[in-house]
Structure formats: C-alpha cells, structure tokens
Structure 1
C-alpha cells in the first residue's frame, strides 16, 4: 500500500498535463500512487492520461462526471489508499524532493496535520501584479502560528502544495460545494477544527499562472466569494477568541469596506463603528479617527482595508499601541 496518494484532477489540460505528471513520477520519494481524475475533458488530455496509466502501475485513471474541481477532488479522496494525501494541479510542476521533504516533516511532527511549501511563481499573463503580490505574501510566513493569524487575509497555504493526513479527510470531510473557493473553505474548516498547519520555507512547486486558471475564470474565486467564506468562519473564530463578541470595530470606512463589512453583520456580528484616517468618513455608524483608538482591552479591531500596503501599516500601528495580534485584533483582508 502506498504511503502517499497524489490527487491530480484535470480538465482540458493537454498542453501541461504530461509535465505535471512527470514531475510527480520523478519524485525522490517512491511510495506513492497518482490518481488522475478526468473531469470531462474535451481535448487530448484523456489520451495523455491513459498513456501514462498504461505504462506505470502507480497511476490510476478515474473519471468524475460531475463538473468541477471540488467533485474531482472528492473522487480522488474517495479512491485514495495512502496514509497521506498530496494535492497537485495539472498545470504546475512539483520539485523532485517535494514529497520526501513533506512526508518527513509530518512524520517528525505528529502534532501537525497538513504541510505545504513556498512556491516559485511562473507567470504566463500580462498584468499579474496582484498575483505576484499574493505570492510574495504567502511566501513570507510558514509557521503554524502565522498561518493561524493570517487565515482571514487570504488562503494561507497554496493549495497544490499541500500534503495532509488521510485521517483529516475521514474526520472533517473533503471539498464542499458552494459559492466559495473550495480549497480556501477546506483550509478554514481544518483550522477551525484545531488542525495545525505549516509550510516548508522553501519553494517545492512551480506555480504556473495561466489565463485558464480557475482563480481567474470562476466566480467562486472572486474577491466577494472570498469575503463571504471569510465572514462565515470569522464569526466562528470570534465566538471563541474575541472577548467582546459579537461586537467589533472595523478599520476602514470606505464604500467597498462598508459593503464587505455587511457580510459580517449577516453572520451576526455587531459593528460598533469604523476606524479611518478621516474622521466622520461615513455617517452610517460612528467613525473614529485612528489617532483616537483607546488602549488595548477596550475594543476588538478588524482591519479590512484592501489597498496594497495599508494592512501592514495598520498592523504596525496597532502593534506599537501594544495591541496583541490574534487577541485584540486580526486582519481580515
């Protein structure tokens, strides 16, 4: 029985699938199976997958008729036999030592349930500044503590880098279907259940950014979809951590921030007011100038400003005021 089951869904990936599969076959760790899940491809992808399966007994070819990477992932999970589950995308490249290093880490750290890694970003598009900034951010932290703190900023571990214990699937389930990014929801669910996650602080995957990537084409990966699922799990987190729950103060009083803050209210949180660099920026609720923030212990602050660089300035401002991240405030954008 293999130690690792690599789940690799594909849909119309004839130009990239072979390289992705070969990168897994060339792993220095050898106890694995690869589950190739065809999700109704209409190009030459299926023939490429069949060719690999015929040549290598470690490869199993499966078919998932329900369209969507969430259904394909669950098909792989239901058919996996390894102690560990590795995720892989059909348009990325895993470095040869990826599985070896990740399996070793989980074996040496039994308290950790999921491990990812940093990524090497490879762009195939113009105007990719946002993605590059995300990669810089996601490659800037790796500890369990930081992943827990930054979970509501963005997905904390790049999905095709993850390796996790089979028992997590058995206990917490696989991908859920809905109007949200399924990979982010799964990580938030694992973290909500107390699963410790980590990343190896080195690139173990080439993350290729094509125009066909789901994060660019599927509405479930829109900014609003991310905020919807953040709001749902932030409410659950606030119940356990926020001493003033359900009361919060939102840092950011701009129109977009106020719109997204309404998602928190829909989940039952009560916004006491907004904090901004402009006093009285909105008349909807009290707007407090940031210089008038009281000492720690009098409010819980949720910074939601999305402007590039603003979040770190806000974070540093609060830390200088002796606010404790994860206790007195947490970033949510």
Structure 2
C-alpha cells in the first residue's frame, strides 16, 4: 500500500466516524451555540481586577493587559509579581509564569524567554497557556493538556512539520475521540496534514468546521487554477433582495493576485443590496486592471489614490463617497463567505448594538490553517467591523496610520457605548490569506503567531489601551507624536474615479 493510499484511508475512516450519529448530534449543539454569537468585552475583565490587590487579581490584570495590548502596563505588573513569585499559590504562580513568558515573547526577548521557560518547564507544562508556549521556545510539549483537551497549537506545528501525518493524527485522537466535539478546531488539523495536491480533502474539513458554526459548505471552482486556495472557493446563493444598502470599502495595493476572489466573494453575498467601493492605492502591478473588470458590475464603484496613502486613509476617502446606511471593510486578500454581510447586519439589529464583527481563519496559499499560541485558529476579525455610516463619522473615522487603526476604531466603540455595544458573530465569516507579505508579517509592523509584536505596533497598542481601557486622558497630540516617532503615520491624499 502506498503512502498516499494509507493517508487517504485514514481520512476516509475519520470522516465515517465524524458522520456518525454522536458526532452529528454534537455538531448540531455547537451550531446552536455558535449562532447565538457573543458580546465581545475586551476591557471588562481588566477593569474588574486592575484595582485589586490579591495575587489572583493582579495575575488576571497582567494576563488581560497583555491580551489587550497594554505592553508597558504588563511590564510593570510583571516586575511586581515576579518579586513575589515564590509566595504565590501554585495555580496563580503557573498563570504568572505563563504570562511572563508570553510577555517576553511579545517583546521579542527570545533568549530571555527560552531561559525562563527552561527554568519553569515543569510549571508551564501544567498550565494550558504555558503548554502552548513551550514549543515556541524550542522545548518539548505534551500532545494533551492537563484538562484533557488537545494541545492544538503544538499539534498543528507537529503536523505542519511532518512529524505527525494524517494516519498518526487520526490514531492519536482515536484514544480521545470526544475531543473532535469538545475542541472543534481540531477539525482543522487534517487540513494541514493533507498533501498539497489534496485540495478536496482540505476543503471538506474546512466545511466541517464551517458547519459547526452554522455556515453552509463552500464549493470548489471547477474551471480555475488559482495561486492560492481562497481563489478556488465559491458558492452560488440566492440573493435576498431588499434591506438597507451596505457599502463595503476595499483598499487595494499591489493586489492583482488576490483582488479577483476578494471582490467576487463580495458580489456573491446573500445580502444583495450592497455597493463595493474599491480603490487602487497607487499600485505598481495590474491591480487597476482587475478593478476595471469588476467595475462593469453596477454594484462596483472604482477609484484610485493619487499617491500611496495606506489602507486607512483610503477607506476614509471611500467612506466619504459611500451611499449606504451601513459601512464595513474588506481586505484585498480576504474571502468573505456568502453569509458575512447578512449575519453582521442581523447582529447589528440587536438592542443596544452599535457595531458588529465576525470570526476569521488565516489560511496559507495551499490551504493550511494558522494556529496561534492560545491554541486557537479562530480569531476576531477587527477589519470586519460593521457599523452605521453616521456612527463611523461620529467616531472620527480611521486614524491616518500605516497599521493598527482598525484596533483603535474597535476600541472606540466599546469605550463610547459600552462593551456590549459590539456584537460578535463567532462564525468564521472571513477567510484571510496568511502570507509573507501580509501586513501583520511585514518587518516593522509584525503581529506573529508566537505573540511577537513590533515596537511600533506595541507603542500604538499601549496608547489605545491607556486611552480606551484605563481611560487615561491621552491627547490627540500625544497619539500623533507617538505614531510619528514610530513611523506609523501616512498623509491622506485625494482619490479620483478610476478611468
């Protein structure tokens, strides 16, 4: 039996098990839970514990400040807790040790992080967050965490490096088959283990994960050979006429290889009453040609920047020309599942809601899924923020930054109207290309899987944290000066119709 045949038989056996009655019942339960969505509350926990004096409260404050981008605040808290580490209760000590390792990785102190992890290896191995961080610094980690759940971060790395093939992965989970239910992101691991030519297998398991979140399956285009898997996905859907006009803003720079599927996915939305405003931000490739082709559709309005001004300035310029009652944004290398606009519009109709967001998966060109240090592949898509056009301008639009302005806009909504005003659709309604040229991987603006954040990104995040979470009086002059110091500012330029 050939290697390919063995791997295919393992996949077939796994799919038969997942199609069995117990798994089908559990998938329906997860779907019901996912459809309820959640109120994303990034700051509430920090505010509750920040003034506390107990070790547990201070440990929680440290953890939340890292999560919310308060890096300088986290350094201060970390120094204090490290001084008293030996006196902390065991569970709290493990959490603090994991947070301090996470902090060092975020700051790019890899040598210090490795030494810290080696010193506290035993303690980290018993902490769910710590387990995921061990392999980041080159130390062995178990396949299973102490709570019985799979170490998805570590397993994804082993699968991606070839240490675990599909057959071995299926055998590993056969000992704890319930984990396909309790940790549904495990369904994404066979996507990584499938060989690059097995695109159908990758899409089938992607669809299993989508169905768990109430999203109908996607199809493979039969007539194209795209540069990456996102270009092969589509689904013809009946369009629901009526409803409010939604303006989708797309800034594109040197996006000739991805813009085609990005725009096509917007035109295949179930919510038909939309306009797509797309601008070529002074590209040096054939981006403008792609835009002109799509501008033949009456729903697409085409523009160009007179000079490169970055995604946020371009979106502001497009927002001034938008006609829709609602606005949202879409990156030029992202794929929107057909229900994205409809689901976010529905979430925004809830009482007290001022904005909605959705989930995101990052896929590389051949369909592999990126897992992060928190064991999850499903992320919050801040770029998907969906809000009324007058709300957008009431908040001042997007800051003229090179990166990070969508994070600030997101924080503004919660600070102005309360955390429950942002309704999160948990489902992964955006599939994002994870490539070396992604904005979060470009040198100087990194936000990587292992937790590293570039100094410029940390500086902006800290000011956002101080202004909108801690509620310190951070002036516009202070923000502008800090962004200028870190080369995170671009001058707005005019846009014009694309001839």
- Range of TM-score over shorter length: 0.5 to 0.7
> Take 1:197 and 1:217, find their aligned partners in 2: how far apart are those partners?
29
Q: Are 1:37 and 1:75, in contact at CA under 8 Å, matched by a contact in 2? A: no
- The 3-state SS of whatever aligns with 1:162 is strand
Q: Any idea what the Cα deviations from partners look like across 1:15-36, whole Å, max 9, x if unmatched?
A: 1111111100001111100001
Name the counterpart of 1:289: none
Any unmatched runs of 5+ in structure 2? Answer: 1-242, 447-452, 474-481, 483-499
State the Cα distance separating 1:136 from its structure 2 match: 5.3
Q: Are 1:192 and 1:237, in contact at CA under 8 Å, matched by a contact in 2? A: yes
Kindly report which structure 2 residues correspond to 1:202-217, keeping only aligned pairs within 5 A, or say none: 202-217=427-442
Name the counterpart of 2:404: 181
Equivalences, count: 224
State the Cα distance separating 1:238 from its structure 2 match: 6.1
Kindly report which structure 2 residues correspond to 1:117-196, keeping only aligned pairs within 5 A, or say none: 117-124=358-365, 132-133=371-372, 137=376, 139=378, 157-178=380-401, 181-194=404-417, 196=421
Kindly report which structure 2 residues correspond to 1:9-28, keeping only aligned pairs within 5 A, or say none: 9-28=251-270
State the Cα distance separating 1:239 from its structure 2 match: 5.3
Name the counterpart of 1:5: 247
State the Cα distance separating 1:227 from its structure 2 match: 2.4
Aligned pair in 2 of structure 1 residues 235, 82: CA closer, same or farther (>3 Å)? same
The answer to whether 1:75 aligns with 2:317 is yes
Q: Are 1:219 and 1:225, in contact at CA under 8 Å, matched by a contact in 2? A: yes
Aligned pair in 2 of structure 1 residues 239, 104: CA closer, same or farther (>3 Å)? closer
Aligned pair in 2 of structure 1 residues 171, 71: CA closer, same or farther (>3 Å)? same
- The 3-state SS of whatever aligns with 1:77 is helix
- The 3-state SS of whatever aligns with 2:255 is coil
Residue among 290, 298, 311 paired with 1:48: 290
Between Structure 1 and Structure 2, the one with more strand by share is 1
TM-score with structure 2 setting the length = 0.41
Q: Are 1:180 and 1:225, in contact at CA under 8 Å, matched by a contact in 2? A: no
> Take 1:116 and 1:73, find their aligned partners in 2: how far apart are those partners?
17
Q: Any idea what the Cα deviations from partners look like across 1:270-295, whole Å, max 9, x if unmatched?
A: xxxxxxxxxxxxxxxxxxxxxxxxxx
Between Structure 1 and Structure 2, the one with more helix by share is 2
Name the counterpart of 1:93: 335
> Take 1:39 and 1:12, find their aligned partners in 2: how far apart are those partners?
8
Aligned pair in 2 of structure 1 residues 203, 179: CA closer, same or farther (>3 Å)? closer
Q: Are 2:361 and 2:377, in contact at CA under 8 Å, matched by a contact in 1? A: no
> Take 1:159 and 1:237, find their aligned partners in 2: how far apart are those partners?
16
Name the counterpart of 1:291: none
Larger-gyration structure (1/2): 2
Q: Are 2:411 and 2:468, in contact at CA under 8 Å, matched by a contact in 1? A: no
The answer to whether 1:63 aligns with 2:312 is no
Q: CA RMSD in A?
A: 3.1
Greater relative contact order: 1 or 2 (C-alpha under 8 angstroms, separation 6 or more)? 2
Aligned pair in 2 of structure 1 residues 238, 43: CA closer, same or farther (>3 Å)? closer
Aligned pair in 2 of structure 1 residues 22, 187: CA closer, same or farther (>3 Å)? same
TM-score with structure 1 setting the length = 0.60
